[in-house]
Structure 1
Amino acid sequence: MIRTFIALPLEASIQTRLSELGQTVPGARCVPAEQIHLTIRFIGEVEGTLFRTIKEALAQVSAAPICLSIRGVGHFPPRGNPRVLWAGVEPAAAVIGLRQHINRVLTTIGIPPEERKYHPHVTIARLHDTPLRRVTDFLTGNSLLQSSAFTIDAFALFSSTLSAKGAVHRLEALYPLSGSA
């Protein structure tokens, strides 16, 4: 079985900046820079034949490059004990549109859309018993976070292996965004 997801790779400078930001929260396990991405769709465990079918089907996606910027921070879950710190992206509508297109393609090969609401974000740290005051301080101190605009010109299929130190992602295929919106 192959644990699979689709994501937007980010520029190295954005990855580094967000990873360093995650390191500012005591008790947080920050995401290493090379692992930072914007998840479009988590698929989960699939067997090898379906994985190859997914890989081929995603080549049918035609979409224009997306101009984004990182904006703001937050945490999941929105209520209760925070477990994940994230950075937001703007405009979210462009990412949601690409996700909808990818979901339509995946549906044609028998993979139904995810049921839960999608909120485009970049995970920067995972929390375990981090005092709420530290999380609140992080959110307050970084509420105005904003990067310069950057262009995403491809999306990717990744496999993911879970380990004691967290997930390790491997790029399986890269799909250019060169079509029209």
Structure 2
Amino acid sequence: MIRAFVGLRIPDEVTRELVAFQAGLPAGRPVPPENLHLTLAFLGEHPEPVIEDAHHALSGIRSARFEVSLHGLDLMGGSRAQALGILAEPNPELAALNGRVRQAARMAGIELGRERYTPHVTLARFARIPGGDDGQRLRDFTARGASLRAGPFLVESFFLIRSWLGQSGAIYDDLAEYALG
């Protein structure tokens, strides 16, 4: 079985900006720089032939290159937030690529959830949202981050990425890259 997702890699200069911001996190486990990405679709865990079918379907996606800008922090997951992310600014090209990726996954026989797509880069994860003073520091940090900006950056490709879950977090391995433009 292969656990995989489709996403955008974050360029080095934007990664440096995000890592500098992570340095002030009052709580949570920062996402390592090499794992910072913007998910287009989480495919889940499937047998290798299904992931190969997804690869072939993803290979057929055609899209122009486009820019993405990141702006503002949000606790992801509502009242039971498990992550802190920086949001992608609304972008019709990004939304269209997400739609094409989801369609390719369906063509490969992968059923995806119906949740609303909120493009973001996860900066930190929480076992649970801290309470008390730690919780207040996190809420203050998130409020201060409302004006945080990173990018823009040019999206020239997207990736099929394998996710290995380990004791100290996920390890990502690029399975395929798909050029845009």
The residue aligned with 2:150 is: 147
Q: CA deviation at 1:73?
A: 0.7
**Which runs of structure 2 are paired with 1:3-152 in the superposition (5 Å)?**
3-78=3-78, 80-128=79-127, 129-130=129-130, 131-152=134-155
TM, length-normalised to structure 1: 0.91
**Identical counterparts, % of pairs:** 28
C-alpha distance 23-76 of structure 1, shift in aligned 2 (>3 A): same
Q: Structure 2 unaligned segments of length 5 or more: list them.
A: none
Q: Structure 1 unaligned segments of length 5 or more: list them.
A: none
> Which structure is higher in helix share?
2
Q: CA deviation at 1:109?
A: 2.2
Distance in 2 (CA, whole Å) between partners of 1:37 and 1:120 is 10
Distance in 2 (CA, whole Å) between partners of 1:77 and 1:112 is 21
Whichever residue aligns with residue 25 of structure 1, its letter is L
Question: Does the Cα contact within 8 Å between 1:19 and 1:36 map onto a contact in 2?
Answer: no
The residue aligned with 1:173 is: 176
Question: Does the Cα contact within 8 Å between 2:84 and 2:122 map onto a contact in 1?
Answer: yes
Q: CA deviation at 1:81?
A: 4.1
Whichever residue aligns with residue 175 of structure 1, its letter is Y
Question: Does the Cα contact within 8 Å between 1:4 and 1:43 map onto a contact in 2?
Answer: yes
Which of 161, 165, 178 lines up with 1:158 in the alignment? Answer: 161
Distance in 2 (CA, whole Å) between partners of 1:87 and 1:159 is 22
Distance in 2 (CA, whole Å) between partners of 1:92 and 1:82 is 24
Q: CA deviation at 1:22?
A: 2.3
Whichever residue aligns with residue 117 of structure 2, its letter is Y
Question: Does the Cα contact within 8 Å between 2:43 and 2:105 map onto a contact in 1?
Answer: no
